[in-house]
Chain A
Amino acid sequence: MYGGVFAYALVREHERTAAPVTAALGGVGALLLLLVLRRADADLLVWPLGLLGVGYAVAIAVRGSGLDEGAPFVAAGLLLCGELAAWSMDERFGIRADRAVVVARAVGVGALVFAGLAVAALVVALSATSAGGGLAWTVLGSIAAVGVVALGVAVARRAEA
């Protein structure tokens, strides 16, 4: 899954001007993912996903104007990669699970990834509509960004508690 997203990020960049940067970031991320899986260190799981995300961001930033319709799949792919890696690490203790437990988690991961894909697709679809730009959309976007940051802080605090 990680390789698929990595390959897509490389292919999407037509001029190949930023390909070395994307390749380097994705490659380091892939190695880091292997290391994370090997050591079963859940604290570092976010880094390979983040590095590949940065690589993808560089690729689409260099690409210039034009919407990448594959962005929802990139997002869902990254999320699925993270979830499968986390599942793999959860199973490192060799606890033999009942079939119902495995099915429940598979359904849960599938539902989350599918819902994420739907939300991402909705974002891309909304951006394609001619709703117009302006101050209102910028403010709304800023509020959303601040809200997500606040959510991150809240989750971090809850985790520490």
Chain B
Amino acid sequence: MTQHVSPRLAGYATIAAAALIGGLVLGRVELVAVAAPFALAAVAAPALARRPSVEATLELDRERALESETVAATLTLTAAHAADRVDVLLPLPPQLQTDARNPRAVALAAGTPKALELPLRTERWGAFVLGPALVRVRDRLGFYSWEEKLGGRAALRVYPSVETLHALLPPLETQVFIGNQVSRAKGDGIEFADIREWEPGDRLRRVNWRATARRGGLWVNDQHPERNTDVVLFLDTFTDVQAGVSGTLDMTVRAATSLAHRYLQRKDRVGVVSFGGFLSWLLPGSGTLQLYRIVDSLLQMNIVLSFAARGVDVLPPRSLPPKALVIALTPLLDPRAAAAMIDLRARGFDLVVVEVSPVPFVTAGDDPLEKLSYRLWRLSREALRARYERAGVPVVEWRDGVPLNVPLEEVAAFRRYARPARA
């Protein structure tokens, strides 16, 4: 432990010495009497000070939590010798709040552990490492103090809350594996598609006896098979526009979590590509484990400033499987991400662009020049959207506070009336 001595200890010794010498010089016993208490303090404080032996352990009642839940953190302090005052501070990130006293000063009895409970309210998602706690032990009169970081570290992952999505975007094409998505193709399935003439190899139970009786030959039913989908969440992490605690990256992570959760519930395979200054990807997979993988990777997501030119060709082919539905979540601010998405469309991917709008986080300014710049910026965004639409890519704007269902429904409406252009 790092020891600190209060400057008043030396000050008291100085006063005592000066008063004593003054008393001798002036021959006044009163000054010797004035010196006596200060000399006593200067002697007693070092004599009574004892280097403390305090240990601390930090524990959380769980390692994972959802937003707006409460996690109990317990800091247990143990002292070999009694400590009259122990100041304890557990540094917390702004996303974690507590109503308990932090910092707090407690007294420790020798050998008796003291548990300090801190209920932590998770205000926002993120991956956090709590601890070590800052511990300062003082002697009774505050002449000596010892400081150290104690208690070790405890990891806490706070997952973003999942928005309820009523409907998901159907892909243009499904994969070959069994799933819950009714394919546009014809084959074995439940959903009726059409009738056709019997061919060798057709099973007897597929014969449509009514049609056969009317037409005089064997006719069989065709069905749409139930297949799964590969969904790739393409996250633009080049830039983040923030206002307070909310921002485009925050919205992106929340949307990606909700979409991954819902698609994985539907037995689809979901992958993530974080396209930004720091490039990362997660190959498509299914199941609960994949959900945890995705959310854990989303928690680590950060904006890394980079001027390096990037394209989708740097991504491994398996991260973007053929016929995958690519849902791009982007603020449409960085030209590299915009170009990469056009490239994806040109490569034949079924691309949907959800524009995480930065507009609510930007103010136009009062200056005429600032207002003009703002209008030009809005116009350039409109032009970029038009460029996507000409390529047959649905672009929908999603603003803060609007449910994610709204832009998804807009995409579905777009697809009902517009078909993607083939390059």
Q: Do A and B come from one complex?
A: yes
Give A contacts to B, CB under 8 Å. 42-43, 45-46, 49-50, 53, 56-57, 60-61, 67-68, 71-72, 74-76, 78-79, 82-83, 86-87, 90, 93, 95-98, 100-101, 104-105, 107-109, 112-113, 115-117, 119-124, 127, 138, 141-142, 144-145, 148-149, 151-152, 155-156, 158-159
- Which bucket holds chain B's interface residue count? 35 or more
Contact of A100 among B7, B28, B39, B107 (CB under 8 A): B107
B103 touches A67 (CB 8 A): no
B7 / chain A contacts, CB cutoff of 8 Å: 42-43, 45-46, 159
- Per the bound structure, the CA–CA distance linking A82 and B95 in Å amounts to 41
The list of the 9 closest CB pairs from A to B, nearest first, reads A116-B37, A46-B11, A152-B13, A97-B105, A71-B30, A159-B5, A108-B140, A127-B29, A71-B33
Closest to B38 in A: A79
- Per the bound structure, the CA–CA distance linking A49 and B14 in Å amounts to 11
Whether A124 touches B29, Cβ cut-off 8 Å, given contacts A75-B36, A83-B141, A87-B142, is: yes
- From residue A70, how far is it (CB to closest CB) to chain B in Å? 9
Give B contacts to A, CB under 8 Å. 5-24, 26, 28-44, 46, 84-85, 87, 89, 101, 103-107, 138, 140-142
A156 touches B33 (CB 8 A): no
Contact of B84 among A68, A86, A101, A116 (CB under 8 A): A101
* Chain A interface main SS type: helix
- Per the bound structure, the CA–CA distance linking A90 and B17 in Å amounts to 26
Contact of B17 among A87, A93, A120, A149 (CB under 8 A): A149
B28 / chain A contacts, CB cutoff of 8 Å: 57, 60-61
Contact of A93 among B43, B85, B103 (CB under 8 A): B103
Whether A152 touches B42, Cβ cut-off 8 Å, given contacts A56-B34, A67-B30, A105-B142, is: yes
A120 touches B37 (CB 8 A): yes
30 CB-based A-B contacts, threshold 8 Å? A42-B8, A45-B11, A53-B15, A53-B19, A75-B34, A75-B37, A78-B34, A79-B38, A90-B142, A96-B101, A96-B104, A98-B106, A100-B107, A101-B84, A101-B107, A108-B140, A113-B37, A115-B44, A116-B36, A127-B29, A138-B24, A141-B24, A145-B17, A148-B20, A148-B42, A149-B17, A152-B14, A152-B17, A155-B9, A156-B10
